[in-house]
Structure 1
Amino acid sequence: MPELPEVETVKAGIAPAMEGQVIAQADINRPDLRWPFPENMSARLTGKRVLGLRRRSKYILADLDSGETLLIHLGMSGRMLVSGVKVGEFHHPHPVPAKHDHVVLHMENGARITFNDARRFGAMDLLDTATQEDHWLIRDIGPEPLGNAFDETYLVERLKRKNSPIKSALLDQGIVAGLGNIYVCEVLFRTGIHPARKASQISAKRIASLVPVIREVLSEAIAAGGSSLRDYRQSDGELGYFQHVFQVYDQEGKLCVTDGCKKTIQRIVQSGRSSFFCPQCQR
């Protein structure tokens, strides 16, 4: 599942082709993805200008001049591909339509934004912009980890009575938005906290130390273009490269990177997800 850096990277990639532009035609090639598309989706998108793109947790939000907002969730294998305009240093011609091109937005500037999703775990919806915070996918999401509302005082208060493992607590989208398995593993390694430790048993000082490290890891991943594991791609189809500097994630059996540590990275399963950690450096 793409995490915050991957979604932020995709948003940045499609923004030059979409922001300020009119959707000349919206092709909806099937009735649903993970859930049914909203009623009259093609008509509600066609002719509308995209005022701006935002990200909320793992969702991309495109505000339209109609007073609605297009919500995009990439799911397990969803990709937003840009063609017909210059992306970065490259111009990508329109590709031949593919089997899993489920939604295609033809922009007035000649760009084509294609949502391709082989597994159909992604989603799109149209929300009322003025009341979007009440939408069932958004209303219970916690603060953004790169925003001002997420600080040391907030995190200490939210976790001091949490009896779940710290790994599970940080994956709780109601506590902090957008964090996923990959980056939580990396954050816990950098802060020396074992993923199985109960959140309530960790000192306030150590909980507070998570905040700057969370921001650091996410910022590094965004700068690197996300992790691009498995099906994930940037909007121009290129792989990111943050996965090449993972210190613990997917490093089971490899020597810990900490100077002087002779232990190897171990893996445990927590709530069906793999947690990677160093048994000596993380307590």
Structure 2
Amino acid sequence: MPELPEVEVVRKGLEEILKKEPTLLDIELKRPDLRDPIPLKKLKTLIGQKVRKVERRAKYLLIWTDKGGMLSHLGMTGTWRVAEKGDERLHDHIYLHFSGGLRLAYRDPRRFGIFDFVAADDVAVHPRLKILGPEPLSAEFTGESLWQSLRNKQIALKVAIMDQKIVVGVGNIYASEALFAAKIKPTLPAKKLSLERANLLVKEIRRILAESIKKGGSSISDFAQTSGESGYFQNTFKVYDRAGQPCVVCKQQIKSKVMGGRNTFWCGHCQK
């Protein structure tokens, strides 16, 4: 599933494509739903409006006009691309038609994505957005704030930092990589994380997410940028998906375990 860096890379791609603020002319659905029904009637109220900006909140993309926005979640296999006439593909589910002959296509073979409407003044109370915690690259996310949010958490630290109410966008890949970089074992009870180690973990989360964004994200399944290119941060993985392989630091075998329903990877020697 695309995580925060991958979604941010797509946001930047859409921002570049839509930088001339084209007018939305039509929303064409090839099916009425993805993971959930698509509220076409509400979305159609945006027709005739210019695109003003493209934002990201957690793993959601927000394409804004003056009257509201289109919310997109890529799910497991969703991608956006410029689709010129004749470039229709299997599993294309949404076409956005803009002035100047621009057409954006949303393709999603597994259909776990989301396409929704957000009113201009509805971000704070929208059902999909109101429960979200701080952005990990924002000033709001600090070692102190993380430490405070974990003080009564019995669950494993790795599971806790993947909780979108605590901090958004730290998915499975980046949780494993950040914990390795901070030398903290993923099984540590969250409430036992010290303030000192929380500061270090936040620093590493920020660094690794920023590095992945710079490298175009991680392409380990179907993820592609709006240009169709793959990211290459996966070439720098230290622990993720490396079970049984030697640690890049101490050469001991990388361990793996399912935690919170997700495979977790760590070095039992380097991480304490």
CA distance in 2, matches of 1:262, 1:40: 57
Q: Distance in 2 between matches of 1:73 and 1:99?
A: 19
Consecutive unaligned residues in structure 1, runs of 5 or more: 85-93
**Partner deviation per Cα, 1:106-155 (whole Å, 9 max, x = no partner):** 22133221000111100111111112210111001000000111112111
- The one-letter amino acid paired with 2:234 is Q
The CA deviation string for residues 39-93 of structure 1, in whole angstroms up to 9 with x for no partner, is 425632432211101000000011112x211100000111111245xxxxxxxxx
Which of 129, 152, 171 pairs up with 1:161? 152
Q: For 1:151 and 1:12, locate their aligned partners in 2 and report how far apart those are by CA, in whole Å.
A: 25
Q: Which residue of 1 aligns with 2:182?
A: 191
Contact 2:35 2:111 (8 Å CA) reproduced? yes
Q: Secondary structure at the match of 1:125?
A: strand
Q: 1:162 to 1:241 in 2, by over 3 A?
A: same
Match of 1:277 in 2: 266
User: What amino acid is aligned across from residue 164 of structure 1 in structure 2?
Assistant: I
Letter in 1 for 2:51: V
Please show how residues 97-108 of structure 1 align to structure 2 within 5 Å: 97-108=88-99
Q: Give the whole-Å Cα distance in 2 for the aligned partners of 1:119 and 1:219.
A: 28
Letter in 2 for 1:245: T
Q: State the match for 1:254 in structure 2.
A: 245
Listed as ranges, the matches of 1:237-252 within 5 Å are: 237-252=228-243
In 2 relative to 1, CA 28–178 (structure 1 residues): closer, same or farther, beyond 3 Å? same
Contact 2:24 2:97 (C-alpha < 8 Å) held by counterparts: yes
Q: Is the 8 A contact 2:32 2:38 kept in 1?
A: yes
Which position in structure 1 is the counterpart of 2:253?
A: 264
Contact 1:189 1:277 in 2 (8 A): yes
Structure 2 length normalisation: TM-score?
0.96
1:71 matched to which residue of 2? Answer: 71
* Deviating more after overlay: 212-221 vs 129-138: 129-138
1:14 and 1:82 in contact (8 A); partners too: no
Q: Paired residue for 2:203, among 205, 212, 226? A: 212
Equivalent residue letter for 1:50: V
Q: CA deviation at 1:27?
A: 1.1
| Structure 1 SS opposite 2:100 | coil
Is 1:82 aligned with 2:82? yes
Q: 1:62 — aligned with what?
A: 63
What one-letter code is carried by the residue in structure 1 that aligns with 2:47?
A: T
Task: Give the % identical residues.
Answer: 41
Offset, 1:179: 1.1
1:139 pairs with 2:139:
no
User: 1:30 Cα deviation (Å)?
Assistant: 1.1
Asked if 2 retains the 8 angstrom alpha-carbon contact of 1:79 and 1:233, the reply is: yes
Is the CA contact 1:83–1:112 (under 8 Å) kept in the aligned structure 2?
yes
* Structure 1 residue 18 corresponds to structure 2 residue 18: yes
Find the aligned partners of 2:218 and 2:102 in 1 and give their Cα distance: 26
What is the aligned partner in structure 2 of residue 8 from structure 1? Answer: 8
CA distance in 2, matches of 1:45, 1:113: 15
8 A contact 2:118–2:126 mirrored in 1: yes
Q: Is the CA contact (8 Å cut-off) linking 2:216 and 2:231 kept in structure 1? A: yes
The Cα of 1:161 is off from its aligned counterpart by 1.7
State whether structure 2 residue 206 is matched by structure 1 residue 202: no
Alignment of 1:175-190 (within 5 A): 175-190=166-181
- The answer as to whether partners of 2:46 and 2:69 remain within 8 angstroms in 1 is no
